[in-house]
Structure 1
Amino acid sequence: MEEGNRGTIMITNDDGIDAPGLRALVTALVATNLYNIQVCAPDSEKSAVSHCITWTHPVAAKKVHIDGTTAYAVSGTPADCTSLGISKALFPTVADLVLSGINMGNNCGYHIIYSGTVAGAREAFFYDIPSISISYDWAKATSNLHDFTLAAQACIPVISALLADIKNQRYPHKCFLNIDIPSNVANHKGYKLTKQGKSIIKMGWKQIASETEGRKMSSDMTTADVAARSDFNTSSISPESLLFAREVRGAQHDHDDTDHKCLQEGYITVTPLAAISQAEEDCQNYFKNWLQNVSESPSSLAL
């Protein structure tokens, strides 16, 4: 970022370019009149695609109108959108900061691995561009679309402070940030620095009679009370095929001071992440001795 210039922010997501979370974030940032805003987001929902990329065929990018921005809807994944958006093939300048969100549903614990939202930020991290993934803990019974506006406004101080650090060359490039905003965002308890935990919605499978029997899985990996996607491709399904749909079988929650627990307590959690996950120390120690024994006794590999 050159001295005196307006910072440039690129926004992507995994819920699609028309999603209310992305639109609320764009509106809040445009309203500050402080930044140049680029939008490069999927043209349809791409929830839970993780860090999938398009490799075997081209992606299409279509210019769309979003007030105060230069925006494109892209046929690829969130990681594709970030990669294309920061490549200079689409926009003439590379953004100073990439934002991915605001996702409908939290992204804590092990769900970070599944998340296309987090992947949108992680892809920028791969290229040494500061980034933040942002998710709102949508509660079906109580949340409403205005909560995305409140969530976006709650993130503006973090975004502004980060851009100031980028401008002053203080930003640490060894991580990116994952922000989760509590359901009761109007009464949140403030920001809290947390670590990624091990919380997860445990999934199972059930056999179904037809594709219309399954219900759509929402962004937070719970089952939504809406019909299955109408664009479900049935052309390759033979009459002899068995059909299975995912279903929720329970949950695993953290009891220590990690992202999901603090989010449920009402904090806006700020979790530094990196691309590489290191195994815990006891695993390193175990396999150090184990591998040495394997090397010394190659005959033990025979069955």
Structure 2
Amino acid sequence: MARILITNDDGFQAPGIRALAPAIAELGHEVVVVAPLDDQSGVGSARTATVNRPIQTVVEEAGGISYRGVAGTPALAVTLATIGAFGPAPDLVLSGINRGHNIGVPIFHSGTVAAALTAAGQGISGVAISIEGASPTHWATAATMAGEALTWIASEPAGTVLSLNVPDLPLDQLAGVRHAALTPITRERLVATTAPTGEPMITVAPPQPNPPADSDEALLRAGYVTVSPLIGIRVLPEDDAAIALAKRLSSYR
């Protein structure tokens, strides 16, 4: 079985990670849990650490599993684990279970998703798992789906990343599993408002009707587990734009 790093952005004491780690351990995998000390939602791929300075860590034991909290972001937790701070580097990374879905193009802000992408940057495949709702109850459903995704991704090329969103439903009430496109950025729900103090403030607008039928938003709403394969930073083959820019820059020499 594999050595699995489990992390999140909700904090090492969050219910999602406390549900995920035992479920993966029960599959026979070696589980290493390293996650932020506190809630780091929305930090994206930020890596808060200063070279040559110690990083605060806290360890709690529960159910035979060590839960290690680090003072920093999910990307930092993954980086520390992959460079050998807590023993051998992991074979695979699971990030979650995040409280609340991660859908649409803005998922690059998600610390949960960024943890899996950070692993990919180190040549390690990862799965980001999120469950729908602000106060979900069916953590076991999401943990089961994470285990299934882990089995699949283990045989894929190194650096493969999946983002899974799971409805907050019993396992036998799921509509199924579907590949999902990311909901377009045009459906961003953030709205700029003004606080009573006169300072700018961000609020969340109500969901818009009729998202694209093949999108993660629409499929999740219909009760499907959504699977979105992601590609991290990469360089595309040379194209006309690059050639044109190179020609323009040559005039400065």
TM-score, scaled relative to structure 2: 0.84
SS in 2 for 1:64: strand
2:104 matched residue in structure 1 = 109
Give the one of 84, 87, 103 matched to 2:83: 87
Q: Deviations over 1:116-149 (max 9, x none)?
A: 0001111100001010100001155xx43xx112
Is the aligned partner of 1:177 residue 2:162? Answer: yes
SS in 1 for 2:183: coil
Separation in 1, partners of 2:126, 2:165: 14
Is the aligned partner of 1:268 residue 2:253? Answer: no
Give the one of 69, 77, 86 matched to 2:73: 77
Bigger radius of gyration, 1 or 2? 1
Sort the Cα spacing of 1:12 and 1:207 in 2 relative to 1 into closer, same or farther, 3 A. Answer: same
Sort the Cα spacing of 1:254 and 1:175 in 2 relative to 1 into closer, same or farther, 3 A. Answer: farther
Is the aligned partner of 1:192 residue 2:187? Answer: no
Separation in 2, partners of 1:86, 1:266: 35
SS in 2 for 1:120: helix
- Asked if the contact 1:10/1:40 (under 8 Å) is kept, the reply is yes
Sort the Cα spacing of 1:64 and 1:258 in 2 relative to 1 into closer, same or farther, 3 A. Answer: same
2:203 matched residue in structure 1 = 247
CA RMSD of aligned residues (A): 2.7
Sort the Cα spacing of 1:107 and 1:243 in 2 relative to 1 into closer, same or farther, 3 A. Answer: same
For structure 2, list consecutive stretches of 5 or more residues without a partner in the other structure.
none
- Asked if the contact 2:153/2:160 (under 8 Å) is kept, the reply is no
Amino acid at match of 1:126: G
Residues 13-162 of structure 1: matches in 2 within 5 Å?
13-32=8-27, 34-56=28-50, 58=53, 59-89=55-85, 91-138=86-133, 143-144=136-137, 147-162=138-153
Sort the Cα spacing of 1:87 and 1:288 in 2 relative to 1 into closer, same or farther, 3 A. Answer: closer
Q: CA deviation at 1:55?
A: 4.0
Separation in 1, partners of 2:188, 2:23: 31
SS in 1 for 2:195: strand
Sort the Cα spacing of 1:92 and 1:48 in 2 relative to 1 into closer, same or farther, 3 A. Answer: same
Sort the Cα spacing of 1:9 and 1:68 in 2 relative to 1 into closer, same or farther, 3 A. Answer: farther
Separation in 1, partners of 2:40, 2:75: 10
Sort the Cα spacing of 1:49 and 1:185 in 2 relative to 1 into closer, same or farther, 3 A. Answer: farther
Q: CA deviation at 1:111?
A: 2.6
Sort the Cα spacing of 1:174 and 1:195 in 2 relative to 1 into closer, same or farther, 3 A. Answer: farther
Deviates more, 1:77-86 or 1:182-191: 182-191
Q: Deviations over 1:63-114 (max 9, x none)?
A: 221333343110000100110111112x221111100000011111123111
- Asked if the contact 1:206/1:247 (under 8 Å) is kept, the reply is no
SS in 2 for 1:173: coil
- Asked if the contact 2:36/2:73 (under 8 Å) is kept, the reply is yes
- Asked if the contact 1:30/1:68 (under 8 Å) is kept, the reply is no
- Asked if the contact 2:129/2:164 (under 8 Å) is kept, the reply is yes
SS in 1 for 2:62: coil
Sort the Cα spacing of 1:157 and 1:267 in 2 relative to 1 into closer, same or farther, 3 A. Answer: same
- Asked if the contact 1:203/1:250 (under 8 Å) is kept, the reply is no
Is the aligned partner of 1:8 residue 2:3? Answer: yes
Q: How many residues align?
A: 241
TM-score, scaled relative to structure 1: 0.71
- Asked if the contact 1:208/1:244 (under 8 Å) is kept, the reply is no
